[in-house]
Structure 1
Amino acid sequence: MKDSKKANTVILKFPDFIRNNIVLKITSLNAVVISIRLIVSVIIQRLLAVTVGEAGIASIGQIRNILAMLSSTSTLGTFSGLVKYVSEFKNNRPELTKVFSTATVFLLLGAIISALVLFVGADYFTNYVFKSNEFTYVFKVLAIIVPFIALSRVISGVVNGLSDYKKYAKIELISYLIASVILVVGLYSYNLQGVIIAIVIAPIIQLITLVAIFGKTLTQYVKLKNFKLQLDYRKNLMAFTLMSFISAFLINYIELEIRTLVTDEININEAGYWTAITFISKNYMVFATGLFTLYVLPRFASIHGRLEFTREVLTIYKTILPIFFIGMLLVYLSRNYIIQLIYPNFTGMEPLFKWQLLGDFIRLCALVLAYQFLAKKLVSSFVITELISLVLFYVLTKLFLNNYGTEGVVIAHFVRYAVYLIVVIIFVHLYYRKQSKINA
């Protein structure tokens, strides 16, 4: 009888545990958004696979990498800096205004430079990325879209800095659904070209959704009458510019290069298989990305002691790692069904699942720790660890590609993050050892 009462008490307390655990609250809300996105994504990816084939999937991967690179260059990489300083100064409006003023200058410079480079170099880029002149107009359209990408990125930084996870979830879901509808219309109207244009204009949809949902909140923190173009925080944000160049620009550049390498060394269909497995990976990794920017980065920014940091990391690990492990195990066990459901005839994907999933799980463990570099603005630690990771990925891919074919790319992905995790642990340990000596 007592055991029964105890069990009932535990069951009744479980919802309270969720309500009191901010990590679980964000995770559970993200789960709803990601689940809806996943269902829509499955439908769209199947339509794309059937309609444009492996080669088309590879081309779509190229344009997505270009957009991700522009999200960094168009703002000169101020996103993580905005998240950090908004979380620190959300109750200090004068300092917050200075941060926004500096970010706006960075945005203007980044957007103008990126737009000019894209417009002038449209012929070069289309030949470099797609090996043809067919998509020259895409880069000229992108040049026009760049300011929208920049503004969307800056406002997203504010949403994340305020840890407004409910509005973040709403913005992500609505903008994704609208963009998906436009993509399907583009697919059936103009085939691959329509899809690429739909992807290119997605940042405009994101910006409109951001302003519609978050506009009133934004005006509470950004007072236009006090707004001036100043550079008070230029040194602070420039550190994040360098880190963003590594984390957003170079990572996507390396992916773009590897896709080209697989196309040249094997064939474009194999590049399509690898692109397809990375699409699946990115769909479930988005689940963690929201948690990192909404909770981990602002939380780590406010932690100063080793003991408190360790406790927080363990809490995050205990909360999300079991969820991810079960999810990834289910993905692996149902890999053949996933291929039949989403990518029919993409049978070459099957051997890629194991190494991709193992690499992603280790990556998740490492990223939780690595966000300390962003939170504490540890530029050298961040740059060194990321460069080691990127160089390893590219070099190992070139080495493994000859012996293992496309599977060599995902084996390189696994080895890269295994080494990366060890290196990050060492750097975090060295940081706190240095801090203890300073405080001694």
Structure 2
Amino acid sequence: MRIPGFIRNNVLLKMTSLNAPVILVRQFISLFIRRVIAENFGESGIFLQGQLRSLIQLLTSFTSLGIFNGIVKYISEYRDDEEKLVALFSTTFVFTVLGSAISTVVLLVWHDDLSHYLFGTYQYGYLIQLIAVLVPFISLQRVFNGVVNGLSQYKKFAKIDLVSYLISSAWIIICLFQENFDGVLIGIAVTPMIQLIILLWVFMGVLRQYLHFKKLRFKAPMAKLFLAFSMMSFFSTVILSTVEIEIRNLILRRISESEAGIWSAMLDLSKNYMAFSTILFTMYVIPKFAVVHGRLQFFKEMGLVYRTILPIFGLGMIVVYFFRGFIIDLIFPGFDSMSALFKWQLIGDFIRLIGMVMSYYFIARKLVYYFVITEILSVGLFYVFAHYFIDIYGVEGVVIGHMIRYIVYVVVVFLMVWHYLTQQAKQKNVPQ
């Protein structure tokens, strides 16, 4: 089917149209899996798989020492400079080896303690050991995804994402119908390895064009540049995942495992519809913002993203809110108390979307100080508000805290972006 002309002429809309079917299929399968877990294993099952997914998310960033966005930025800038590409990938190799080695040792040595912390039992120590073995696959999958995103190969990436997700989901669904919850958790754990295999199968030719394996050295000439991205990723992904794990444990301690599962279900649903924006922003916004100079260009590009994406997301969120009862019955049967969480979660996510566009400028321009300050603020406020409101409103207090922290976040990010662009204009006489 041909893409309409007005979409072909707008890169962002073109990416939206190409990724939308993939995201919809992923959402359908993901939510179907959640339904079967909810039916067969209840809130406890949703809680356990939520903890595991947060751990995988944490490792996805840490095993490569958080250089994903650095790869996206520099591959787009150096794609025609072989010497710089060798320096880029040699540094990537060093960071990946170090991050993977540290992660593997920690997981192997403290597998029982981590199992107890994450799942409240020592019985999943074997799962932590399995993940330790899978660490190299997790890190390589992240690195090669960065290369694909940096080259803006969004059409092929959409196919990779869909095929790999279908394969891993098939395994999980088979285990679900056999009521084998351990198999479900193993399926979640091996998903990055499946994604890596499919990615290499589709993209090996492109990777060889830019990644000259024989020229790689165990040196890190771009270490200082990458350290900035490592620090940013540490605060945006590693600490956020840790806070999510801790908040589930907080709900578990102060209320119940059932309520921890309710919040995990709400968070899962949120991550499903927010996944589209994350992929889109990584593949479009970072490469664009990397070459934007001055307030005029920045606000022009930001305006394009807002005009294209916000109305779509806003309408979608309104539909989700008014059909929340139907969604709960369809995906999380028996999770009726989840209905009260929708309003605060959806408002918070929409405000988050507004802030994400601006914050990606910090990543694209490697503005470590600005990014770290805003991320510390965001994660810190969420943790504090969750602790405070949970005693007043129960699990609903967690999503109220989620909304309030993003209101503060958007204001602070806007002020910091404005301040930076104003200072740059004064120093370099960049047109405003």
Mapped to 1, the partners of 2:220 and 2:232 lie a distance apart of 19
Q: Tell me which amino acid in the other structure corresponds to 1:412.
A: G
1:262 aligns with 2:251: yes
Mapped to 2, the partners of 1:292 and 1:36 lie a distance apart of 20
1:162 aligns with 2:161: no
Residue aligned with 1:110, SS: helix
From 33, 39, 52, the counterpart of 2:28:
39
Mapped to 2, the partners of 1:48 and 1:351 lie a distance apart of 21
Mapped to 2, the partners of 1:41 and 1:190 lie a distance apart of 17
Deviation at 1:95, TM superposition (A): 0.6
Residue aligned with 2:149, SS: helix
TM-superposition CA deviations, 1:157-197 (whole Å, max 9, x none)? 00000010001101111111111001112223452211111
Superposition RMSD in Å: 1.0
Deviation at 1:15, TM superposition (A): 2.5
After TM superposition, list the pairs within 5 Å mapping 1:342-361 onto structure 2: 342-361=331-350
Question: Structure 1 regions of 5+ residues with no counterpart?
Answer: 1-13
Deviation at 1:19, TM superposition (A): 0.5
Q: Tell me which amino acid in the other structure corresponds to 2:203.
A: F
Q: Tell me which amino acid in the other structure corresponds to 2:240.
A: I
Q: Tell me which amino acid in the other structure corresponds to 1:97.
A: V
Q: Tell me which amino acid in the other structure corresponds to 1:253.
A: T
What corresponds to 2:423 in structure 1? 434
What corresponds to 2:56 in structure 1? 67
From 271, 290, 295, the counterpart of 2:260:
271
What corresponds to 1:88 in structure 2? 77
What corresponds to 1:290 in structure 2? 279
What corresponds to 1:242 in structure 2? 231
Q: Tell me which amino acid in the other structure corresponds to 2:349.
A: D
Deviation at 1:30, TM superposition (A): 1.3
Mapped to 2, the partners of 1:197 and 1:71 lie a distance apart of 16
1:197 aligns with 2:186: yes
Q: Tell me which amino acid in the other structure corresponds to 1:370.
A: S
Deviation at 1:297, TM superposition (A): 0.4
1:317 aligns with 2:306: yes
Deviation at 1:59, TM superposition (A): 0.7
What corresponds to 2:92 in structure 1? 103
What corresponds to 2:380 in structure 1? 391
User: Is the 8 Å Cα contact of residues 60 and 139 (structure 2) preserved in structure 1?
Assistant: yes
After TM superposition, list the pairs within 5 Å mapping 1:167-246 onto structure 2: 167-189=156-178, 191-246=180-235
Question: Structure 2 regions of 5+ residues with no counterpart?
Answer: none
Q: Tell me which amino acid in the other structure corresponds to 1:153.
A: R
Mapped to 2, the partners of 1:347 and 1:189 lie a distance apart of 26
What corresponds to 1:6 in structure 2? none
User: Is the 8 Å Cα contact of residues 401 and 407 (structure 1) preserved in structure 2?
Assistant: yes
From 49, 55, 80, the counterpart of 2:38:
49
Residue aligned with 2:180, SS: helix
User: Is the 8 Å Cα contact of residues 179 and 202 (structure 1) preserved in structure 2?
Assistant: yes
User: Is the 8 Å Cα contact of residues 389 and 420 (structure 1) preserved in structure 2?
Assistant: yes
1:365 aligns with 2:354: yes
Mapped to 1, the partners of 2:389 and 2:9 lie a distance apart of 47
Residue aligned with 1:201, SS: helix
What corresponds to 2:127 in structure 1? 138
Q: Tell me which amino acid in the other structure corresponds to 1:196.
A: L
Q: Tell me which amino acid in the other structure corresponds to 1:191.
A: N
Mapped to 1, the partners of 2:177 and 2:108 lie a distance apart of 28
User: Is the 8 Å Cα contact of residues 186 and 197 (structure 1) preserved in structure 2?
Assistant: no
Q: Tell me which amino acid in the other structure corresponds to 1:369.
A: M
Mapped to 1, the partners of 2:122 and 2:178 lie a distance apart of 21
Which stretch of the first structure deviates more once superposed, 430-439 or 292-301?
A: 430-439
Which stretch of the first structure deviates more once superposed, 189-198 or 268-277?
A: 189-198
What corresponds to 2:390 in structure 1? 401
Q: Tell me which amino acid in the other structure corresponds to 1:188.
A: F
Q: TM-score, normalised to structure 1's length?
A: 0.96
Q: Tell me which amino acid in the other structure corresponds to 2:394.
A: G
Mapped to 1, the partners of 2:407 and 2:157 lie a distance apart of 31
Deviation at 1:271, TM superposition (A): 0.6
Deviation at 1:224, TM superposition (A): 2.1
User: Is the 8 Å Cα contact of residues 52 and 191 (structure 1) preserved in structure 2?
Assistant: no
1:308 aligns with 2:297: yes
Count, aligned residues: 427
User: Is the 8 Å Cα contact of residues 51 and 191 (structure 1) preserved in structure 2?
Assistant: no
Mapped to 2, the partners of 1:20 and 1:196 lie a distance apart of 43
Deviation at 1:254, TM superposition (A): 0.3
From 364, 370, 373, the counterpart of 1:381:
370
Mapped to 2, the partners of 1:115 and 1:225 lie a distance apart of 26
Percent identity, aligned pairs only? 48
Mapped to 1, the partners of 2:26 and 2:279 lie a distance apart of 13
What corresponds to 2:241 in structure 1? 252
Mapped to 1, the partners of 2:312 and 2:404 lie a distance apart of 23
Mapped to 1, the partners of 2:7 and 2:174 lie a distance apart of 40
What corresponds to 1:125 in structure 2? 114
Mapped to 1, the partners of 2:154 and 2:285 lie a distance apart of 12
Mapped to 1, the partners of 2:213 and 2:112 lie a distance apart of 40
User: Is the 8 Å Cα contact of residues 101 and 231 (structure 1) preserved in structure 2?
Assistant: yes
Mapped to 1, the partners of 2:378 and 2:101 lie a distance apart of 31
